[in-house]
Structure 1
Amino acid sequence: MLETERLILRPSSRADIPQLFEFLGDPAAMEHTHSDKTLRECQRRVMVHEWRRRRDGCAPWVVVRREDGRIIGWGGLYEDPFDPGWGFEVGYYFRPDVWGKGYASELVNAALGFADKQLQLQEVWAMAHPDNTGSRRVLEKAGFSFARHLHERDRLLFRRPRSAEPR
C-alpha cells in the first residue's frame, strides 16, 4: 500500500471488481482506451494484473480517495500482460466525476517515485490517445516526453528516463 496527500493506493481484490467495473466497463469513461464488456472480463483483467504484481513487483493499484474511502480509479505502474513488449508503463483510469481534479497527476507521481526508488527502473513508458489532451498534459507535467506516434494503434508513445531527483 502507498499513500499520497489525497489518495490511498492499494492492491486490487476480488471484492473491488464491481466498483472498478462501474468505470472500467463504461465505454464513455473509457473512450480513449480499452473498455471491459462484462464483469467477468473486468475481473480477469484485474486479477491477471494482480498475479503479475507478485512476479514483477508492481501492478495497477486501486485508487481510493482518503477523504471518504471511495474507489475513484485504477492505475499505476505495470508491464501489460495483455499487450506485452512495451516494458514498464504508467496507466490510469478514473471515474468521470473525478476527472480534472489532479488525481491522475498524483497517481502518476507516486508511480514514478515507486519506479525510481523501489524498482530502480531506467525508464518508464506511457501511451495516450491523440485526442486525449488531459492525459497528454498529465504525462508531460510528470516529465514524460513524446517519443513517437504509433499510427497502427492510434496512440502517442511517451517515455520518461529515470529521474536524477528523488520523487
Structure 2
Amino acid sequence: MNIETARLILRRPVLADVPKLFEFLGDAEAMRYTHADGSLRACRRRIAVHEWCRRCTGYAPWTIGMKTDGRIIGWGGLYDDPFEPGWGVEIGYYFHPSTWGRGYATELAIACTALADHVLRLPEIRAFARPENAASRRVLAKAGFEMVRFVPETGRLLYQRGRQHQSSVV
C-alpha cells in the first residue's frame, strides 16, 4: 500500500532504490544514532529482509520520496525489527541529511500512527531514540509517543504510544 501525505510519497522499496538509500543508510555520520550499513550489499540485504517481513505482517519501512519530484529522501515506517526482535511493532525513520529539520520525519510519524490506529488497529507502537538525539525525541513527542524508560543494553530510550480511537460524531 502506498501512502501520500502533504509532501511525501511512501511506497514499497524496489531494488533500484538501494543506491539512493545507501547514500544515507551507509553514511556513518548520518546514521550516528543508529546502524549504518557497511556496504551496498548490506543495505540491499536489510531492505530485502524487511520486504520479506512485509509479506508476513503487511507492513515494513517504505522508500520515502518527495511528492513534487519523486526524489528519494528517506526510508522508514512501521516494522517488527527482524534484526533486534522482541520489542513489538516499532516506527523508525531515516532521512538524507540534506532534508533534516524540515518536518519530514514528523510527517512520516503521523502517517504511521494513523495507519497503526485506523487501518492495522494495533494496540500500541513503540520507538527508540538515543538520549542525545533531541530531534528524534521531538518527532516522537509530536506524534504522541511517551518515553517509557532507558534500556541500558541498547543505550536507547524506549517510547510507546497506545492506539488512539477515532471519536464518532453523532
Where on the TM-score scale, by shorter chain, does this alignment land: which range?
over 0.9
Q: How many Å apart are 1:33 and its aligned residue?
A: 0.2
Does 2:26 correspond to 1:25? yes
SS in 2 for 1:45: helix
Across the two proteins, how many residue pairs are aligned to each other? 166
- CA deviations on 1:54-91 (whole Å, 9 max, x unpaired) are 11010000000111210000001111111100000000
SS in 1 for 2:63: strand
Q: How many Å apart are 1:118 and its aligned residue?
A: 1.6
SS in 1 for 2:74: strand
- CA deviations on 1:81-112 (whole Å, 9 max, x unpaired) are 11100000000000000000000000001111
Map of 2:17 onto structure 1: 16
SS in 1 for 2:132: coil
Map of 2:79 onto structure 1: 78
Amino acid at match of 1:62: T
Map of 1:99 onto structure 2: 100
Does 2:159 correspond to 1:154? no
| Alpha-carbon distance between aligned partners in 1 of 2:132 and 2:164, rounded to the nearest angstrom | 28
Map of 2:135 onto structure 1: 134
What RMSD in Å do the two structures reach over aligned CA positions? 0.8
SS in 2 for 1:126: strand
| Alpha-carbon distance between aligned partners in 2 of 1:33 and 1:161, rounded to the nearest angstrom | 24
Q: How many Å apart are 1:152 and its aligned residue?
A: 1.6
- CA deviations on 1:128-158 (whole Å, 9 max, x unpaired) are 0111000000001110001000112110000
Amino acid at match of 2:152: H
Amino acid at match of 1:140: A
Amino acid at match of 2:67: R
SS in 2 for 1:63: strand
Amino acid at match of 1:112: T
* Structure 1, unaligned runs of 5 or more: none
TM-score (norm 2): 0.96
Structure 1 runs, 4 residues or longer, greater than 2 Å off: none
Q: How many Å apart are 1:164 and its aligned residue?
A: 2.2
| Alpha-carbon distance between aligned partners in 2 of 1:62 and 1:39, rounded to the nearest angstrom | 16
* Structure 2, unaligned runs of 5 or more: none
Q: How many Å apart are 1:117 and its aligned residue?
A: 1.5
Percent of paired sites with the same residue: 57
1:44-123 to structure 2, matched below 5 A, reads 44-123=45-124
Map of 2:36 onto structure 1: 35
Q: How many Å apart are 1:165 and its aligned residue?
A: 3.4
